[in-house]
Structure 1
Amino acid sequence: GPIDSEELGFGLLILSCFTFLAIFQGLSNQLWQATAYRAQHDIRMDATQSLMSMEASYFETRQTGNLMSVLSADVAQLEDIISDASTSIIRIAITFSTAFAIMFWMSSKLAVILFTPLIIIVPMVVWFSTRVQRKYRKQRESTGGIVAILENVLSGITVVQAYNAKEFERSRIDIQSGNYRDMAIQAAFIRNRFIPGIYVVAGISFGLLVSAGGWIMASEEITVGQFVTFLLISTRMTMPMFILGMLLNQLQKGEAASKRVFAIIDLEPSIFDKEGAVPLESPITSIRFETVSFAYPSSDSNVLNDINFSASSGEFLGVMGHTGAGKSTILKLVERFYEPQSGRVLINGTDINEFQIESVRARIGFVSQDPFLFFGSIRDNVAYARDCSDEEIDHALEAAGALEFVTQLSEGIDTMVGDRGVMLSGGQRARISLARALLNDPDLLILDEASAALDAETEKRIQESLFGSSNGGKKRITIAVAHRLATIRNADEIVAMVDGAIVERGTHEELIASKNVYASQWSIQTGELGSAEG
């Protein structure tokens, strides 16, 4: 009869809806997961690019491990949101809207009775979100703290073991891990009240539905078959409601992670190419400091005060002074790791700010007092980010006094150096770092205590290679900071620094004759008083 046809129509409609949902779910899962992985990659690269563009001072006040946690764990959390949460939102929306449309068509009264109690979920969501968000944010921060401590411990494991500090470090990790545990338990406590609450609301809806269903059937507004169909469709909504609770929980986790990730992506460096900056296309033939003063962001007092000096092609400038005198800071200003508070740094007579940063650095070779080697081979570290031949690498190694020891290694330039170069001695690391700086034959070579780990004989050979006739006639500028004065005694000019100011300047012989700061330090190091010959 007509009733049978109508019920058959309901059955076919329901079958069609679920078939559509199954096909849609498979396709949407594939689409959203692919989109999520692409987004994860793009977000991670944007955050990485943002970090690498930041000035040196940014990293001095932050823990490496914490930043690593953001780039790994927090970005991965966002991928979960995009892939899982997005498909869940769409699936729930389609399920609810389709079910509501069918049920409203079958019986508007029953549909209103079923859905009205669900409005209670709105204030429940607000309550849940405001409370659990703080817990998840602190959880993410604790994760970063754990990774930061572990990164420190593993990097300095020899110090940890030498000082019997395993228990001390374990207790530090225990505190951070305990914070994470406590926040996780508190978040779970909130979550485990919210999700059951959704079930209670669902129970109220179904209870009202069953009660009202009998009354409506008695009035013959719907048949028993239609009510059973209505009831089956409504029970199909139980799982989406459970998923909704889990989804809201996941979204709160994602929001906590996204704040940390986008805080990095939105960073603005304080040192950048000024508007109208042009590439430095000609060789660096001179560098000059004009009344340069500088203070670190974390300090109220100047590290440098009215610094003036200049150096031209072919000249060797030496900088000496006690620890904290400001020697290394001068070199950082040349590289534009920092910018002076007053005064100017000039390249070829032009303010360094007029040139694009990367074009200036491309013409500078820099060797720090703590040589850093990347995990990889000697070849990887010397060539670092540049295409070059083995002959060019060998030439740079020879100029740095490293070719002899490298050729004696069983794997030669393909020898792995270990994490941060731990497989090599301090002197070997220093020479590999110097070779890296010399590979492109820089116009300006900056040496920051670069020979501190070298023995006197090796240092002498390297100086002959750098400044002797065998260097191919290269007329580069060399600026060397040294505590060991033998390193800079042959410089064309030596500046002596005390408390951020230059107190004397001249050649080795002139400074010895003046019997001031330099001469005093020379006599302490060599035992020779007033000797210009050393």
Structure 2
Amino acid sequence: MMDLFCASLTTICELVLPLIVRYLTNLGMNDLQALSVKVILSVGIFYLILRIIDTFANYYMANIGHVMGAKIETDMRKDLFSHLQKLSFTYFDNTKIGQIMARFTSDLFDVTEFAHHCPEEFFIAALKITVAFIILAQVNVWLTLIVFAFIPIMLFCSLKFNQSMRRAFKKSRDQLGEINAKVEDSLLGIRVIKSFANEEMEQEQFQKGNHKFLDIKKEMYHFMAGFQSCTRIFDGIMYIAVVVAGALFMLYRKITPGDFMAYLLYITTLLTSIRRIVEFTEQFQRGMTGIERFTEVMDVPVDLGDSPEAIPLQQVKGEVTFDHVGFQYADGGKEVLSNINLKVPAGENIALVGPSGSGKTTLCSLIPRFYDVTCGKILIDGEDIKRFTLHSLRSQIGVVQQDVYLFSGSVYDNIAYGKLGASKEEVIEAAKKAGAHEFIMKLEHKYDTYVGERGVKLSGGQKQRISIARAFLKNPPILILDEATSALDTESERLVQRSLEDLSVGRTTFTIAHRLSTIKNATTILVLTENGIEEQGNHHELLQKGGIYAHLYEDSLPEDIG
């Protein structure tokens, strides 16, 4: 409200000046003796005071108004990030990160400019037009009606162009998000691109998206130019109408020279206000488009959340039960899991094997509720996992994946991520248990060594052992190992496998295996296919059975031996 009040003060100066000119002109034309130095100086001092007030009001608008816009942007960015943290993997499976990043950066910046400038600019314009109409109508109502008759026609034409501009701006933002996504994808995969010598192909693909963006911009500027030209022609028509009609009224003594002079100044003020609206129309459209794209994300429902009666999961023993569990992705595709029944006692090591696409990773992803079951339920220590808060549930489950993600920071920061607030001694002890301490101490800056984006400065085995150290630090009673060694060389696999075996001791462990030699000692091995759990037993039992597992094991022998 204070911002709009200051906007009102800045408007007063512009509205008062034509009245001062009218007063002095009419006074000089009618009674030159009355136009004394005292009167002129008094008017000048009065206007100077108004200008001082205008200066302070304008400073407030430029300073505090922008801060207000920045606060709005900050709050919106916080809400957007918070909402994204609550969304399930399903949303991120179907959304490009570049599109999300565009909403955090350019979209919200335009919302800030819109939130600060547009309300005050439109308020000032409305105030000027309203007050100018009232004053001009008192001077000469017929001349005022002639001038203002053009405004509805101009607004109608402008509205038509506005609608087209809004659609073009939306397409522009969507395409910009696609460009961001392509740039991010190419930069993250730069090693793959160079290894296959596909730089030219990447450039061609980028150019296609870039030229499409150019075509959209051309369309956008076509409508923008039409909008500006529309207002410009009416600008000229209104001005010449005042000059011609006002001169005729003055010729027939229907208006005084002072009134005519004030009229011209007010029309100049009026047309300046209209030009300002035109200038901020692009910003208005950008801001509205940014708000639309912001609400698109905020309106995505949180399909995974805590129920009102959710309680913390504490003192976990580690028994996990799958009770008639079925799962199907939200896109309506084929059912991935169907009628899975399984009871895993606390502390057991369960291995899952089977062909790709059989649902091994999906099955394990249901335990920490990265996705929710479509039917049936999963229980921990006899209680449905939906009864527990997500934070407490996931804090009791450790996940070590094949594709290790290390954050941009130091080795220490990445290990400490497993337990926020852990002491340095705890971090080092976790690294020792994971077999990582020795190689860390050989790094240039030891635990303070920068690992690079996604840990590119470390080898695959080193990254995996840091992720295992992170899991050791978390110390969860339930552990999920998702093909944690399948991408490693033989030596790295041996070191990491030893660390994983140490990590698994005393925990309920689910191991998704690609190399079957790594799961010989599992308590129970589950063979998962499209039909569900086809076989179940330990290594020797399944080999004697001579079924699917035995064939998979025989096929893997050359690979394991090599």
**Normalising by structure 2, what TM-score?**
0.87
Deviations 1:40-84 (A, max 9, x none): 111112122222211111111221112111221111121121223
Residue 133 (structure 1) aligns with: 166
Question: Superposition pairs for residues 112-127 of structure 1, below 5 Å?
Answer: 112-127=145-160
Question: Superposition pairs for residues 253-272 of structure 1, below 5 Å?
Answer: 253-272=286-305
Contact 2:350 2:525 in 1 (8 A): yes
In structure 1, what is the Cα distance between the partners aligned to 2:77 and 2:139?
Answer: 49
In structure 1, what is the Cα distance between the partners aligned to 2:558 and 2:281?
Answer: 75
Q: Does 1:515 align with 2:546?
A: yes
Residue 438 (structure 2) aligns with: 404
Deviations 1:394-422 (A, max 9, x none): 12212222111111112111111111111
Residue 477 (structure 1) aligns with: 508
Query: Matched residue of 1:439: which SS?
Result: helix
Tell me the CA shift for residue 21 of structure 1. Answer: 4.4
In structure 2, what is the Cα distance between the partners aligned to 1:239 and 1:498?
Answer: 73
Residue 532 (structure 1) aligns with: none
In structure 2, what is the Cα distance between the partners aligned to 1:174 and 1:462?
Answer: 43
Question: Superposition pairs for residues 293-372 of structure 1, below 5 Å?
Answer: 293-298=326-331, 300-372=333-405
Deviations 1:250-287 (A, max 9, x none): 21222222211110012112222223121212224311
In structure 2, what is the Cα distance between the partners aligned to 1:300 and 1:200?
Answer: 57
Residue 49 (structure 1) aligns with: 82
Tell me the CA shift for residue 211 of structure 1. Answer: 2.0
Tell me the CA shift for residue 152 of structure 1. Answer: 0.8
Match of 2:190 among 135, 147, 157: 157
In structure 1, what is the Cα distance between the partners aligned to 2:43 and 2:252?
Answer: 21
In structure 1, what is the Cα distance between the partners aligned to 2:134 and 2:49?
Answer: 14
In structure 1, what is the Cα distance between the partners aligned to 2:437 and 2:124?
Answer: 64
Residue 447 (structure 1) aligns with: 481
Match of 2:315 among 282, 293, 296: 282
In structure 2, what is the Cα distance between the partners aligned to 1:28 and 1:336?
Answer: 49
Point out the more displaced range, 360-369 or 59-68: 59-68
Query: Matched residue of 2:351: which SS?
Result: strand
Tell me the CA shift for residue 38 of structure 1. Answer: 0.8
Residue 143 (structure 2) aligns with: 110
In structure 1, what is the Cα distance between the partners aligned to 2:500 and 2:226?
Answer: 72
The one-letter code of the counterpart of 2:440 is V
Residue 501 (structure 1) aligns with: 532
Question: Superposition pairs for residues 26-65 of structure 1, below 5 Å?
Answer: 26-65=59-98
Contact 1:379 1:393 in 2 (8 A): yes
Match of 2:463 among 419, 424, 429: 429
Contact 2:306 2:388 in 1 (8 A): yes
In structure 2, what is the Cα distance between the partners aligned to 1:322 and 1:94?
Answer: 71
Query: Matched residue of 2:308: which SS?
Result: coil
Match of 2:420 among 386, 398, 403: 386
| Change in 2 beyond 3 A, CA 1:112/1:224 | same
The one-letter code of the counterpart of 1:483 is H
Tell me the CA shift for residue 147 of structure 1. Answer: 0.7
Query: Matched residue of 1:236: which SS?
Result: helix
Contact 2:478 2:507 in 1 (8 A): yes
Deviations 1:166-189 (A, max 9, x none): 222112211211121111112212
Deviations 1:494-521 (A, max 9, x none): 1122225111212222222222222332
Deviations 1:434-470 (A, max 9, x none): 21122121111111011224455655555555556xx
Point out the more displaced range, 178-187 or 252-261: 252-261
In structure 1, what is the Cα distance between the partners aligned to 2:249 and 2:555?
Answer: 105
Tell me the CA shift for residue 3 of structure 1. Answer: 5.5
Q: Does 1:419 align with 2:453?
A: yes
Tell me the CA shift for residue 104 of structure 1. Answer: 3.5
Point out the more displaced range, 282-291 or 56-65: 282-291
Q: Does 1:232 align with 2:251?
A: no
In structure 2, what is the Cα distance between the partners aligned to 1:431 and 1:452?
Answer: 14
| Change in 2 beyond 3 A, CA 1:101/1:156 | same
Tell me the CA shift for residue 13 of structure 1. Answer: 7.5
| Change in 2 beyond 3 A, CA 1:361/1:407 | same
Contact 1:279 1:355 in 2 (8 A): yes
In structure 2, what is the Cα distance between the partners aligned to 1:17 and 1:123?
Answer: 36
In structure 2, what is the Cα distance between the partners aligned to 1:490 and 1:459?
Answer: 16
Contact 1:135 1:183 in 2 (8 A): yes
| Change in 2 beyond 3 A, CA 1:480/1:474 | closer
The one-letter code of the counterpart of 1:288 is T
The one-letter code of the counterpart of 2:415 is V
Contact 2:485 2:496 in 1 (8 A): no
Point out the more displaced range, 219-228 or 195-204: 219-228
Question: Superposition pairs for residues 69-148 of structure 1, below 5 Å?
Answer: 69-148=102-181
Tell me the CA shift for residue 145 of structure 1. Answer: 0.9
| Change in 2 beyond 3 A, CA 1:430/1:231 | same
Tell me the CA shift for residue 12 of structure 1. Answer: 7.6
| Change in 2 beyond 3 A, CA 1:114/1:323 | same
| Residue ranges of structure 1 left out of the alignment (5+ in a row) | 529-534
Aligned-pair RMSD on alpha carbons? 2.6
Point out the more displaced range, 341-350 or 295-304: 295-304
In structure 2, what is the Cα distance between the partners aligned to 1:107 and 1:450?
Answer: 85
Contact 2:349 2:510 in 1 (8 A): yes
| Change in 2 beyond 3 A, CA 1:461/1:118 | closer
Tell me the CA shift for residue 130 of structure 1. Answer: 1.6
Residue 486 (structure 1) aligns with: 517
Residue 192 (structure 1) aligns with: 225
In structure 2, what is the Cα distance between the partners aligned to 1:10 and 1:334?
Answer: 80
Query: Matched residue of 1:496: which SS?
Result: strand
Contact 2:468 2:499 in 1 (8 A): no
Point out the more displaced range, 422-431 or 6-15: 6-15
In structure 1, what is the Cα distance between the partners aligned to 2:310 and 2:88?
Answer: 18
| Change in 2 beyond 3 A, CA 1:401/1:166 | same
In structure 1, what is the Cα distance between the partners aligned to 2:441 and 2:103?
Answer: 41
What percent of counterpart residues are identical?
31
In structure 2, what is the Cα distance between the partners aligned to 1:245 and 1:527?
Answer: 73
Match of 1:273 among 306, 309, 326: 306
Residue 524 (structure 1) aligns with: 555
Deviations 1:201-226 (A, max 9, x none): 12222222122222333444443233
Question: Superposition pairs for residues 450-465 of structure 1, below 5 Å?
Answer: 450-454=484-488, 459=493
The one-letter code of the counterpart of 2:435 is G
In structure 2, what is the Cα distance between the partners aligned to 1:279 and 1:42?
Answer: 29
